[in-house]
Homo-oligomer: A and B are copies of this chain.
Amino acid sequence: MTLAHVTPAVAVEDVDAAVAVLRARGLRVSSARRVVLEALFVAEGPVSAEEIADGVPGRVPPSDLASVYRNLETLEEVGLVRHVHLGHGPGRYALPLADDREYLVCEHCDAACAVPEAELADVRSLIQERFGFRPSFSHFPIVGLCAACALQPGGEEESHAHV
């Protein structure tokens, strides 16, 4: 599954809008599929398939993990979902919101810091000019040390991730 063909993002403002997109593409709107969308709308940032399958108490019912994966794949083909690999750990899925954000992931404390994608524009063009290589920080983001962890070389094992 080398996302060779990255479907253009389809930003929608609520579950109903997403559902309309699905119908427009001739896809069925099952409750399992709707639940995945609900979980993504409730989520504050990129979440794992397992977190989606677990549901959100009182807000989103739990669902079958395999179906979640299948639905995420379908939704991503449609453009309603994107996924990122934030260093180690499971892939994380999110809605492509209006303000596109990319991540800087700290490999020490696991914090993922979201920056507007525009702010990486000249990093991207610097790399493209020099190597003829067009980096995409949206699927495999930049990993390194956040400001805090760069300073203190010794300790700090706390994870203050805010994905």
How far is B145's CA from A106's CA once the two chains are assembled, in angstroms? Answer: 23
- Residue on B nearest A159 in the bound complex, by CB: B2
- From B88, B132, B142, B143, A147 is in contact (CB under 8 Å) with B132
Interface size, A (range) = 35 or more
| Chain B CB within 8 A of A29 CB | no
| Chain B CB within 8 A of A119 CB | yes
- From B87, B107, B134, B142, A127 is in contact (CB under 8 Å) with B142
- Residue on B nearest A144 in the bound complex, by CB: B135
Contact B136 A145 (CB under 8 A): yes
Q: How many copies does the complex hold?
A: 2
Which chain B positions have C-beta within 8 A of A3?
Answer: 107
The A1-38 residues at the B interface (CB cut-off 8 A) are 1-4
Contact A130 B136 (CB under 8 A): no
Q: Which residue, A106, A115, A122, A144, has most C-beta atoms of chain B within 10 A? A: A144
How far is B104's CA from A136's CA once the two chains are assembled, in angstroms? Answer: 11
- Residue on B nearest A119 in the bound complex, by CB: B130
Which chain B positions have C-beta within 8 A of A107?
Answer: 2-4, 136, 139-140
How far is B122's CA from A126's CA once the two chains are assembled, in angstroms? Answer: 9
| Chain B CB within 8 A of A163 CB | no
Show the binding face of A for B, using Cβ within 8 Å.
Answer: 1-4, 87-88, 104-108, 110, 113, 115, 119, 122-123, 126-127, 130-136, 139-140, 142-147, 150, 157
CB-based closest 4 A-B pairs = A132-B147, A135-B144, A140-B143, A136-B144
